[in-house]
Amino acid sequence: MKFWQALSFVETDQLVEIARCAEACRFEGVLVSNHLVQPEKIEPAYPYSATGDPGFASDTPWPEPFASIAAMATATTRLRFATLVFILPLYDPLEVAKSVSTAAVLSGNRLALGAGAGWMKEEFDIQGVDFRTRGRRFDEQIEVLRKLWSGEVVEHHGAFFDFPRLRMLPAPSRPVPIWIGGISDAALRRAARLGDGWIGSGQTPAEVEKIATRLHALRREAGRAAEPFEIIAPLSIPLDADACRRLEDCGVSGTVSYPFSYTIGPHSTLARKRDYLERFANDVIARFG
């Protein structure tokens, strides 16, 4: 079992040192989150809580994820990086392709793009992007990104995006994996058809087993069962031997340590975060990794 550390809500000026410590503590990688802006007023529409409350405060920092990853990559040599999750339909795919490919090159291909459709309509409205078409935009953007990351001269003429023959450099020397987030049927189908993996949002082991079974079936239907596919499943319960065994038995490749704001409180010092990572390494990674 591989272990990732969630860096959601972390103080921006601590990111680089946390990455160094996570690598020293034998974490597989770290996960950075994404929102472009935080509107003053939003409807309670977060799909992963009973109340629709997203659980972050108005002063939560949201550093640009790929600049953050590039900075952490220069301070590490083995640690992997992914987004949990990047709201892909909110953005122009050419700009995303450039940011991701640059971070992938600077990190030595240690980057995966964890992408989701997004839930905060207000954020789309501010950008002038149609919230209702985000699923179809998402599917087409995956095609666009892979074309641009090839480093070859490409063109695209689709329902949402259109550009003439062009080339984008730098290009990663290996394809950037795209992990799809979300638990809706549409998200699971997208992961099976188009993704290189699936990344969860905090489920029970029983829920993960059900999702993994569904993903395996959908991938067989899509003729992709033999292709590499990672499942990263954060849990909503504390990790123990039984939970890790159940995850491994259903084909999960990694799980996630909770954000620091959940485990040691908001606005904690770097020293407290370092102590938490070291304890997690000794208590969990050393036993189940």
- The mean pLDDT of 10-21, rounded to a whole number, is 97
pLDDT value at position 55?
A: 79
Contacts of 78 (CB under 8 A, 6+ apart): 23, 110
Q: Higher-confidence residue: 95 or 60?
A: 95
The rounded mean pLDDT for the chain is 96
Cα(71)–Cα(111) distance, integer angstroms: 13
Site of tokens 């993996």: 197
Task: Say how many domains are in the chain.
Answer: 1
pLDDT confidence of residue 48: 86
Max Cα distance, the chain (Å): 54
- pLDDT for 260 equals 96
pLDDT of 90 > 90? The answer is: yes
Instruction: Name which of 146, 199, 209 is nearest 28 in CA terms.
Output: 199
pTM (two decimals)? 0.96
Helix axes 15-24, 65-74, angle to 10 degrees: 50
Q: pLDDT band for 248, please (50, 70, 90 cuts).
A: very high
Structural domain span for residue 194: 2-288
Nearest CA to 166 out of 157, 174, 175 is that of 157
pLDDT value of position 58: 81
Residue 204 binned pLDDT confidence (cut-offs 50, 70, 90)? very high
In this prediction, residue 196 carries a pLDDT of 98
Cα–Cα distance for residue pair 251/232, rounded to 1 Å: 10
Angle between helices 65-74 and 93-106 (to 10 degrees): 10
* pLDDT score of 272: 98
CA–CA separation, 267 and 231 (whole Å): 30
Amino acid at the residue 116? G
pLDDT per residue as tens digits for the range 149-191: 999 999 999 999 999 999 999 999 999 999 999 999 999 999 9
Per the structure block, which two tokens stand in for 38? 């935080």
Indicate the helix (H) or strand (E) that contains 187: helix 185-194
- Give the integer Cα–Cα distance in Å for 8 and 181: 15
CATH number, domain at 102? 3.20.20.30
